[in-house]
């Protein structure tokens, strides 16, 4: 039975010091712990422990390094959230435009166009909740003007209120016979529908980590991705710098795919500059914990 009692801020700092974490300013550490929980910071000092069962720290482990790691991770999430926003808006726009022209503005609720009807039911149920909860004046006016139309509002109104995860599921669930599915993939530089769904699903997971302030540094990510054998746009030139299958759990390959996609949306984006500046700002952060490759900045993808 769990029997640990809650520790005061002073007790938390004292315990860390007794376990070997160097904290020269106890009051400053308490101020950090008053705003960032012990449990959350523990995700960053875990790797500094030599004895993880008894939580004994390695020599020269510093509380300031823990805070640096935490701040690096927070700034990385903000950077990726900004990049993913561009991908999300572009994906939403392409889905609405191409499918509405190929089929009609209500394609997203046409079960004949999708492979998995149960998955579509879940997506539409979530969309229904979002639409009903929305205070958007466009939707309110639509329902007021079209009281007798029991369908969702058209795609360009409805899909503005769904998540990146739902958009990625809609795309992946589309039947391969739809021309738009390949057109969208081609516009993103992914050649055809085979590869893009796995990219979007992995990015949706990372977006949720960013939105919920979850750790990305030194994290194993769920799922996997399919890589193009011969990408049509700038990619990684050195074969040894292309992550192997067992490295797909690390963030680097997913950031590479984000960069690849955002390059098609905004070729003059500053993703590479901002990422490099972040590593320069926090020189004590080990890029290897993210799966970064040596001289990654020199690859055509990141130039």
Element (DSSP H or E) covering residue 180 = helix 179-187
The predicted structure's pLDDT at residue 5 = 87
What distance in Å separates the CA atoms of residue 2 and residue 23, rounded to the nearest whole number? 28
Quick one: pLDDT at residue 127? 92
What pLDDT does residue 148 have? 83
Residue 246: the pLDDT is 87
Question: Which residues make Cβ contacts (< 8 Å) with residue 8, sequence separation at least 6?
Answer: none
The tokens describing 104, both together, are 């009609």
Residues of the chain with pLDDT under 70: none
d(CA 222, CA 206): 10
In the prediction, which pLDDT does 153 show?
93
Question: What integer pLDDT is reported at residue 239 of this predicted model?
Answer: 87
Contact 152, 109 (CB under 8 A): yes
- Please give the pLDDT value at position 270: 97
Domain boundaries of the chain, sorted by first residue? 9-61, 71-302
């Amino acid at each position: 039975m769990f029997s640990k009692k809650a520790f005061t801020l002073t007790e938390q700092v004292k315990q860390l010091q007794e376990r070997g974490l160097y904290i020269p300013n106890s009051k400053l550490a308490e101020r950090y712990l008053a705003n960032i929980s012990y449990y959350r910071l523990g995700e960053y000092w875990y790797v500094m422990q030599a004895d993880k069962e008894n939580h004994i720290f390695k020599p020269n482990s510093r509380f300031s390094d823990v805070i640096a790691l935490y701040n690096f991770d927070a700034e990385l999430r903000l950077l990726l959230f900004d990049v993913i926003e561009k991908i999300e808006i572009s994906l939403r726009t392409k889905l609405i435009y191409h499918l509405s022209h190929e089929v009609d503005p209500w394609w997203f609720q046409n079960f004949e166009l999708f492979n998995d009807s149960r998955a579509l039911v879940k997506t539409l149920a979530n969309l229904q909740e979002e639409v009903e909860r929305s205070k958007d004046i466009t939707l309110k006016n639509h329902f007021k003007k079209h009281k007798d139309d029991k369908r969702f509002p058209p795609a360009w109104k409805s899909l503005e209120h769904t998540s990146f995860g739902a958009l990625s599921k809609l795309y992946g669930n589309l039947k391969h016979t739809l021309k738009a599915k390949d057109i969208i993939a081609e516009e993103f530089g992914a050649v055809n529908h085979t590869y893009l769904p796995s990219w979007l699903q992995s990015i949706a997971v990372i977006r949720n980590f960013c939105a919920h302030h979850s750790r990305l540094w030194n994290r194993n990510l769920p799922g996997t991705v399919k890589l193009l054998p011969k990408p049509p746009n700038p990619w990684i030139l050195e074969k040894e710098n292309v992550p192997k299958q067992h490295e797909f759990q690390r963030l680097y390959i997913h950031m590479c795919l984000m960069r690849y996609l955002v390059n098609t949306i905004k070729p003059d984006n500053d993703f590479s500059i901002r990422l490099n500046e972040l590593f320069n700002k926090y020189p004590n952060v080990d890029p290897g914990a993210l799966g970064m490759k040596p001289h990654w900045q020199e690859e055509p993808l990141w130039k």
